[in-house]
Structure 1
């Protein structure tokens, strides 16, 4: 059910990107205006993740999970019925806030209800919903919207939220919140050894990812590659599932090496893409490596953050969520500068630089990713 929750959250976040023409027509705005539905969601996540985690640390986890899922049920229903862009934007902002709440608690919840020796594997399973949503869910939602109308896509998200809530009540064990005597102020959690380093790695690594993911279409076009963007992203999503599987096998005994290899694969994929101008086979190889490297990224980072923050893992993972969504914002902004100024063909070079920064920052010091993990 954790994986299903992740699927719902990511699908809700990315769905407007596949429905921009329908949203623009239905709400009588430009496609640029409809695109702000994605921005409003991300903004809600950035602003709400840390305060939501701080205010709910002591609450029992299953009730909190059900409240977050109920928020998605309601906000997707409002979006489906919204008569104007203004109401849809407000609903999307609130949905983003519930996203911040759920991402801040899912990692700690998944680890708490698993045996300690399998905590990393449990987190890998919980995070599997992300690549499935990106590779299958969003294209399926876009197809449904183009066939029946965009409002039905958001209505389907509300129905999915209701079904997950029923399943959570039936099969997911409860877990206590954080004990009052172990709660620490936000500034002290931020100062824990390893936490600032992990946040820098999150931002630079995910910024590299979002640059290419957001602007994959102009990159493929300018590189003269005979590959449709939707098919490229399906290949990426399938490879990401393989990355999740590999992560589940090794995360509990080789976190440092697994994360190091994943970040390094980003740089390797960027180098292949630079050399792949016009070569479909090279491009597909690079996309596969990129997907495998990204598939376990959330699990690697949240496992490292949970280890660094201990019983304050929920608030620390809320910081991680904020850094992650800041990278989504940054990827769109920096990518636009690169694409408009230097051309989309140079995106892999920027990806390489960012991946190398993540490698130097994250693995030059051993507090964030200790040798024995």
Structure 2
């Protein structure tokens, strides 16, 4: 009996294998976000071509974007709750495989009904991915680097909006819309290989320690984060959806230039958020919201001057480009990475409500009071978001991370 301890003492200590450098994994997650956004929005740039190919009107092709968004909105919470006990990498690979299948069917389909079914599948896979990407990225790094990791993942969204959609439309112009969707299917399949190689696996939540959905929804600090998300999206979307008619109302008819300035500026916002999210997240978010408020006031008061209009839109892009990363970092800090998938699914639902309701409010204001009233409609909502951040310093938005 006395030899057992000696044997154990001489046994070489076991150490966990070193983790792979996180950057390839983070870039894989970022490219996944890029692919999901491009899958969602590409039909909007291909209305005439897809309409001709499927024998339907452009309006019915536009409905394909709505189908994706609706499926993503409706599936995010139930699918996340259903899959939360499974290993995370398996869920990621499964969702990417489903996205690849949906894009492949879209590329090959000659039936509008079959294409609609493929879009529903793509939307469900997209909803699953949105719920897990930021939390997954946060788990790849130590807590003190969480904000930068989330910024890297979310940069894929900005890249898709500013570069992916124009490039995808140009590819469709050159070789046709079907090869464009086929390329997306190939990209999703390649990303499954990258996920298996570069993204570490994490276990799902064990059944015994799994918090019910309703308890995650009432975690301290979560509701202020969701409130900021809703107020910001309402204010932003009411104005941004109708930015082109607003610019025309102010005498600036070059819509492409206005949208390009905004899109390019969001890249700078993502970069700045990555630098600040791990240091002064509350101050950075308050600054971003204050900038958006100043921009809206400037657009409302002096937007007829082209220099003011373009400068304001550029500042707006920088501020709004960084805000989602800062809010998402606060969400993961409040929920903890282990509950981030469910919390992000709740946020994705709020996000979609903000987008749709904001666009509706903006449309009503545009039809009733005119384009000039849009900035003044959005301004109180953004100020409300800043007020929630200001009053949420104890739970949701501490002065420094880790001070909750």
The question of a shared fold, defined as TM-score above 0.5 by the shorter chain, is answered with: yes
Asked if 1 retains the 8 angstrom alpha-carbon contact of 2:67 and 2:120, the reply is: yes
SS of 1:29's equivalent in the other structure is coil
Cα distance 1:166–1:34, how it changes in 2: closer, same or farther (>3 A)?
same
What TM-score do the two structures reach when normalised by structure 1?
0.94
- What do the CA deviations read for 1:180-234 (whole angstroms, capped 9, x no partner)? 34311111111111111211211121222223333222222222114233x3222
Match for residue 294 of structure 1 among 314, 320, 336: 320
Asked if 1 retains the 8 angstrom alpha-carbon contact of 2:109 and 2:115, the reply is: yes
Equivalent position of 2:8 in the other structure: none
Cα separation, 2, equivalents of 1:18 and 1:219: 22
SS of 1:170's equivalent in the other structure is helix
Cα separation, 2, equivalents of 1:77 and 1:332: 31
Cα distance 1:371–1:98, how it changes in 2: closer, same or farther (>3 A)?
same
- What do the CA deviations read for 1:61-108 (whole angstroms, capped 9, x no partner)? 212111111111011112222323322222212211111111111111
1:29 aligns with 2:56: yes
- What do the CA deviations read for 1:144-197 (whole angstroms, capped 9, x no partner)? 223322222222211211222222222222222223343111111111111112
Cα separation, 2, equivalents of 1:239 and 1:106: 23
1:325 aligns with 2:368: no
Asked if 2 retains the 8 angstrom alpha-carbon contact of 1:225 and 1:277, the reply is: no
User: How many pairs were matched up?
Assistant: 372
Cα distance 1:22–1:212, how it changes in 2: closer, same or farther (>3 A)?
farther
Mapping 1:202-281, distance limit 5 Å = 202-229=229-256, 231-281=257-307
Cα separation, 1, equivalents of 2:372 and 2:111: 38
SS of 1:371's equivalent in the other structure is coil
Equivalent position of 2:97 in the other structure: 70
Equivalent position of 1:336 in the other structure: 363
Q: More displaced, 76-85 or 247-256?
A: 76-85
Say what the alpha-carbon RMSD is for the aligned residues: 1.8
1:276 deviates by 4.0
Cα separation, 1, equivalents of 2:242 and 2:58: 16
Cα distance 1:86–1:211, how it changes in 2: closer, same or farther (>3 A)?
farther
Match for residue 354 of structure 1 among 381, 384, 388: 381
Cα separation, 1, equivalents of 2:308 and 2:62: 32
Asked if 1 retains the 8 angstrom alpha-carbon contact of 2:282 and 2:389, the reply is: no
Question: Which has the higher Rg, Structure 1 or Structure 2?
Answer: 2
Asked if 2 retains the 8 angstrom alpha-carbon contact of 1:227 and 1:280, the reply is: no
Equivalent position of 2:5 in the other structure: none
Where does structure 2 lack aligned partners over 5 or more consecutive residues?
1-27
Match for residue 139 of structure 1 among 157, 163, 166: 166
Cα separation, 2, equivalents of 1:327 and 1:14: 18
Cα separation, 2, equivalents of 1:214 and 1:88: 27
Cα distance 1:365–1:322, how it changes in 2: closer, same or farther (>3 A)?
same
Q: More displaced, 321-330 or 102-111?
A: 321-330
Asked if 2 retains the 8 angstrom alpha-carbon contact of 1:113 and 1:175, the reply is: no
1:87 aligns with 2:114: yes
Equivalent position of 1:368 in the other structure: 396
Asked if 2 retains the 8 angstrom alpha-carbon contact of 1:239 and 1:289, the reply is: yes
Match for residue 87 of structure 2 among 57, 60, 67: 60
SS of 2:189's equivalent in the other structure is helix
Equivalent position of 1:173 in the other structure: 200
- What do the CA deviations read for 1:23-58 (whole angstroms, capped 9, x no partner)? 333333333222211111111111111111111112
Asked if 2 retains the 8 angstrom alpha-carbon contact of 1:60 and 1:176, the reply is: yes
Cα separation, 1, equivalents of 2:240 and 2:90: 34
SS of 1:224's equivalent in the other structure is coil
SS of 2:201's equivalent in the other structure is coil
Cα distance 1:197–1:348, how it changes in 2: closer, same or farther (>3 A)?
same
Equivalent position of 2:18 in the other structure: none
Cα distance 1:345–1:82, how it changes in 2: closer, same or farther (>3 A)?
farther
